[in-house]
Amino acid sequence: MILEDRQASCNREVDIAVLLPEDEVDEVIYGFRQLNPLLLLPVPNPLENEGRRTTIVILRVFCRKWSSSIVALLTSALLFSFILVNVYDMKLTVDGSYENSCDVQFVESIPTGMNFSHGAIHRSTYDAWIDLFNSATRTIHIAAFYWNLNSSDYPTSDFGRRVYAQLVNAGRRGVDIRIAQDVSKGLSDNKDSKWLSKMGLAKVRTVDLKKLLGLGVLHSKVIIVDLEHAYVGSANMDWKSLSEVKELGLYIRNCPCIATDLFRIFNVYWYLGQERSQIPSKWPKSFETSFNLKSPMKMNFDGVETDVFLSSSPTPFNPKGREYDLEAIISTISLADRSICIAVMDYIPQTLYLDDNNRYWPDIDDAIRSAAFRGISVRLLVSNWTHSSSHQLAFLKSLIAINDGLPKIRGRKGSVQVVSVLFSNKVFCIRFLHRRFGKP
């Protein structure tokens, strides 16, 4: 039997009984609850099938205004086999009214003592996170590099404690919190997430890229609330990222399209955080996306028609349809018509942290040089602090050196300008430019 809801003209409820293996019930219920129009009632069932205890699940389907959601229930002789077709692949047909419901804002963290004559331009990361956790009613999904919201008595660390308190409050009022995090070896003991898990306020999985790939870290910073609102940016789950480090991110409100696609990326981390997990040779269809460089979401932000897609890396983590970060970055640079503005913590066209096995990696550097050659004005803002690589300056000088050899094309000559921002060490190891930002 197939139930299909298109353009949501119905307001009826339908109850369906499904028999499931007992050990699959939690994940099935969780997956369906992400769609929101469903109330699921598990009922213990004394029967066994092929040696596995089973549970009856009542699916109470209440139709809502989803563009297209399909649930397929296939019946066999003794066991209802439950299949969710594209459960996380809701390719919504976005009409004008839906587009206009999305609100996307830049948010940033400004280090203490860095003042602007006209005040802060954007809303703070702290405000956005407080708003997200306060507004959560059903789910919070967090991808984090490490946790350090509660570990200091330094005055501005209070920002981290307040954010953590709101996350705790969300868990206590019944919000389902799931965290996918890196091992964080040498950075943090992740006491914050451990405590949430111990108190039953969050489910936590740790993704070990060294075991999965031989090296690497989970470096994503993502918050998704109720599959409608989200934050994605440079800020870590660290009080310093809220008050002492220059960070930049996007705060996305009332935008199920983007939030759901971000959830697909989170779901990859969640899957790989299971014990003894391995990267699939082919990712299941439920992890795939329809949105990428060739097929972006067509959206409208502040009256501007905008193409939107989410990229990810490394490539083994990318199911079918997901754009690779490097290709997205190089494509963005190549599309520039007049100028490119880039803000980064480090600018080094080589691999790092591989001891004697580091290699030259010029992909992005080549794309920037090529852009300048064709007449584009390139500006780089690069952090300069205690832990900046000693090799960085040489590479930046090399990049600037091409200015003398750039041709004049169609009456316009390109250029490369570099500003290296020096931050003081007012607080040990934290005063630096951490954001990653590129604008053509």
Cα 193 to Cα 199: distance, rounded to the nearest angstrom: 10
Cα 13 to Cα 355: distance, rounded to the nearest angstrom: 61
Query: Which helix or strand (DSSP H or E) is residue 164 part of?
Result: helix 158-172
Q: Write the single-letter amino acid at 162.
A: R
Q: Is 226 labeled as catalytic in the residue annotation? A: yes
Q: Is 5 labeled as catalytic in the residue annotation? A: no
Q: Active-site residue among 221, 240, 246, 434?
A: 221
Cα 349 to Cα 362: distance, rounded to the nearest angstrom: 5
Q: Active-site residue among 122, 191, 219, 298?
A: 219
Cα 124 to Cα 108: distance, rounded to the nearest angstrom: 5
Query: Which helix or strand (DSSP H or E) is residue 131 part of?
Result: helix 125-135
Q: Is 141 labeled as catalytic in the residue annotation? A: no
Structure token digits, residue 273: 């955080």
Q: Active-site residue among 226, 238, 240, 261?
A: 226
The full DSSP string for 174-228 is: T-EEEEEEE--TTT---HHHHHHHHTTS-EEEEE-HHHHHSS------EEEETTT
Say whether 426 sits in a helix, a strand or coil.
coil
Say whether 223 sits in a helix, a strand or coil.
strand
Report whether the peptide linkage leading into residue 111 is cis, meaning its omega lies within 30 degrees of zero. no
Say whether 288 sits in a helix, a strand or coil.
coil
Query: Long-range contacts of range 112-117, CB-CB < 8 Å, 24 or more positions apart?
Result: 112/156, 112/243, 112/244, 112/426, 113/426, 114/246
Nearest residue to 144 via CA among 270, 256, 245, 289: 270
Which residues belong to the active site?
219, 221, 226
